[in-house]
Chain A
């Protein structure tokens, strides 16, 4: 059994060592590149969204490396993500690949999800599986936590690259922690390093929030690393969705963390009263929330033809006017060039800086 899971942000770091420890062989294809996307685009329907194409390309690469099972959770609409697994399996089987596609009937349901994971990973004990699954989720939240810390401290570093060093060291430390006490110990170490880092005084960094579709917000292959680019320019980055929160909304592994979907929909009420799939309500709700938290600007990023985010885009146009918050819309597809995105980003930052000075 050689399992492969498509990339999504830092997810592979969370499940990799844990599953390998449990005796599952994992095939990790190289991080998605232009080649991956080209592979995906070649075989995907023309108007399929970018995450579909990237994950499809990634699957082809993994199958080329010898994977024989692929995990893609699936779902039940109204966003297209729920149908990815079926279409991808169909395309790959038509291409002649032999493999099993692991997808849950209803991935929001814990039992259904775990049944499928048991099948695909070939694990025996059910209790062990529950433990393993929740441990992966908890690890995921530590990775997200580390990245949040990084975004918070990065603008204040006085030695160039110090925060990046700490972050990288921290991530590899969390990666190696295979029990909850170890995780907690690593976390306190990371937080100690960040606190002790030499900081510049009197800096008031710009705050820019990235909202939008989950995959493009999280995965560096889809968002041209705009989060890191912003951070390196000394800007504090906020994000509307985190993978651990998204999972927590479904599986409640962090009892004290608020349900982010409900929180966003509370804030989005005056504009978007019903969740119209995907992360639309999070994009709207969190934009309003970030305005309250004094963000200077918002970047709305989503793949071309994404249905829910197009609803959000229409609504954000009004939010932008009403709340006086600049919004940059980035629509990503396979033809988007990093250079073009960078230029628009620069112009946007210039605008935010000018607004700051005027006040």
Chain B
């Protein structure tokens, strides 16, 4: 069977359920690199200029661990998935960076997806193009596409229910969708950060466990539907033209408006160009409404640093609640 390698990084944390089903339906074996470790970071950092952000370095580390085991590497070039928003420039240049930084690679699947230029159908066109590599039968590719879409929408629904990435990934395999989780009366905290920070257990460290040990639930930006995020960014003078940036700003504004959410944790990468502006917008539009803790990671991050600050933040929120 043909093996398609998917590095566990960047957009993996948003689109993997789709890719998984899609490639399986096409009769290929999907091979995912193992979760991020120190070694991944070390391998990635060696390949790239030091100023690039950590998630990209991690991605390169994953490619490095995969490249000898697979027949194809799936590194799509996501330029835009919406009509008026781009991805990060680093994602736009990703396949070119991979080709320039790593030698002896298997063939890449690196077609572009550019909805801003070609309309929303660009996504389907892209996947049909990918399908053509593995199967001459066009119908098969179309079927794989629609199966993938179904799984992806189940996955996103599950995330909206507040499940974790791993749970949602598992449960979305079966077509039955569980009932919406009941509100359990626990206090809530929001975490705004790209999916590839928040769902990478190496980057987020033990934030989730820590928050839950204190009796809070942690909500990611994905619990909000697209429409709700749009409603959040309505107020801005100019639309944020980065997809993940919009998600971050929109969800922070919605979290602040929602009275039951007690605080926001902002997980960000050192030197991230977009987040420097997005967090400025978040601070401006949520001023005085909700406490925000910014945690910035880089390749030298230590476990202790985060947990002390999260602990202090939780302490502050709990005490503030008691006083009121």
Contacts and interface: CB of A to CB of B under 8 A. Distances in A.
A307 B277 contact: no
Interface residues on A, range: 35 or more
Contacts of A317: 49, 100-101
**Max chain A C-beta neighbours (<10 A), residue from B89, B100, B112, B238:** B89
Given A83-B241, A274-B112, A318-B100, A45 B280 contact: yes
A313 B49 contact: yes
Contacts of A77: 85-86, 241-242
Contact of A314 (B77, B84, B97, B281): B97
A80 B273 contact: yes
Interface string B275-294: 11101110010000000000
Interface in A306-323: 306-308, 310-311, 313-315, 317-319
B316 interface: no
A273 B84 CA distance: 22
A305 B273 contact: yes
A310 B77 contact: no
A78 interface: yes
Contact of B97 (A89, A91, A307, A311): A311
B96 A273 contact: yes
Interface centre among A83, A91, A274, A314 (most CB of B within 10 A): A314
A20 interface: no
A89 B48 CA distance: 35
Interface in A82-133: 82-83, 85-87, 89-91, 94
B96 A277 contact: no
Nearest to A308: B89
Contacts of A315: 93, 96-97, 100
B246 to A, nearest CB: 11
A90 B235 CA distance: 14
B52 interface: yes
Given A272-B93, A274-B79, A274-B96, A87 B277 contact: yes
Contacts of B236: 86
A78 B279 contact: no
B166 interface: no
Given A305-B271, A315-B97, 7 more contacts: A48-B277, A86-B238, A276-B89, A308-B93, A311-B90, A314-B100, A315-B93
16 contacts: A45-B279, A47-B275, A49-B273, A77-B242, A78-B87, A86-B237, A86-B281, A90-B280, A273-B95, A274-B112, A276-B96, A305-B272, A306-B273, A314-B49, A314-B97, A329-B49
